[in-house]
Amino acid sequence: MQQYLFTLVERAVLALPNIITALAIFVLSLYFARVISNVLKRVLVKRKTVSGVTDLLSDILRWTIIIFGVITALQRFFNVTAFITGLGIIGFTVGFALQNVMQNFVSGIILLMQQPFKVGDEINVLNFDGVVLKIDLRTTEMRTLDGRIAILPNADVLSHVIINYTRSNRRRVELPLVVAYGTSPEQVRAVLQSVMKDVPGYVITPAPEINFTNFGNSSIELTASFWVNTSVIKVEFAKDAALVKVKEAFESQNIKVPLPSQMFYFKAEK
């Protein structure tokens, strides 16, 4: 028994330098992890990064430094290469099984950092038009214009074209119209110019356009377009107001909007 205790104490004394070194490495890793993660957090805050992303990245950096310190400390006692290799194989297997989850996770971080849109913005993505309700690390949630709730994977959102309507404070409103043959084009232009200026949110520049586009079966086709300030009125409301005013103006100026018509010929039997 005494021999066993003597051997144990002897081994402890021999291992004491390694124990002290390992503890010092671990404590230093804790210290540097806290300092460096705080520096990163301050930099991200100055860049006005989303708070969730700031906390996430600072935590990832802190734990990366701590894990590296633990591995370095354990290296004082045994070769951790084989252990790390085993962990790497396990990690690769798990990562392959969860590759879609990890892809959405990384895409969520990119979306939160780059901020192509934020909560409350009206956007178009993946053929959905709506307002962003929530941006998580895995999915983006939005309410479509018809009231549906769409939960979209971040990887799909990031890999497709994103149209942010909210960031564009000016948008063009297009009015497809028809007038009867025999109507004066200049009269039509004058009436439309006057009508478009009365629409709420109308902006002078870019200038409105009125273009005749085609000779239809029973009418002349044209497109009138103008720009509105989207902070004043939505595009769909501006189009509604413009069409109502166009109808009233056409009626007051006796400009006819013909109905589609077809002619049938019947051969009389003799």
pTM over 0.75: no
**Domain boundaries, given as residue ranges, for the chain:** 2-97, 116-164, 170-252
Confidence check: pLDDT of 37 > 90? no
Over residues 18-43, the mean pLDDT reads 86
Most confidently modeled range among 16-20, 110-114, 230-234 = 230-234
What is the structure's pLDDT at 42?
A: 86
Per-residue confidence at 262, pLDDT binned at 50, 70, 90? Answer: low
How far is it, in rounded angstroms, from Cα 39 to Cα 242? 54
What is the structure's pLDDT at 167?
A: 86
Over residues 12-40, the mean pLDDT reads 82
What is the structure's pLDDT at 90?
A: 55
Q: How far apart are the first and last CA of the chain?
A: 134
Label each residue of the chain as H, E or C. Answer: CHHHHHHHHHHHHHHHHHHHHHHHHHHHHHHHHHHHHHHHHHHHHHCCCCHHHHHHHHHHHHHHHHHHHHHHHHCCCCCCHHHHHHHHHHHHHHHHHCHHHHHHHHHHHHHHHHCCCCCCCEEEECCEEEEEEEECCCEEEEEECCCCEEEEEHHHHHCCCCEECCCCCEEEEEEEEEECCCCCHHHHHHHHHHHHHCCCCECCCCCCEEEEEEECCCCEEEEEEEEEECCCCCHHHHHHHHHHHHHHHHHHCCCCCCCCCCCCCCCCCC
Residue with the two structure tokens 């497109």: 223
Average pLDDT, the chain: 83
What is the structure's pLDDT at 134?
A: 87
Q: What is the pLDDT of residues 134-162, one digit of tens each?
A: 888 788 999 998 899 999 999 999 999 99
How far is it, in rounded angstroms, from Cα 72 to Cα 80? 9
Please identify, in words, the CATH class of the domain defined by 170-252. Answer: alpha beta
Handedness of CA 37, 39, 45, 49 (dihedral sign): negative
Confidence check: pLDDT of 266 > 80? no
Fold for 2-97, please state it.
Answer: Helix Hairpins (1.10.287)
Confidence check: pLDDT of 216 > 80? yes
Most confidently modeled range among 75-79, 108-112, 204-208 = 204-208
Q: Could you tell me how many residues make up the chain?
A: 270
Tokens of 203: 């902006």
Over residues 35-49, the mean pLDDT reads 82
More confident residue, 56 or 136: 136
The CATH code of domain 116-164 reads 2.30.30.60
Q: What is the pLDDT of residues 238-260, one digit of tens each?
A: 999 999 999 999 999 999 988 76
Q: What is the pLDDT of residues 97-142, one digit of tens each?
A: 557 777 888 888 888 778 889 888 999 999 999 999 988 878 899 9
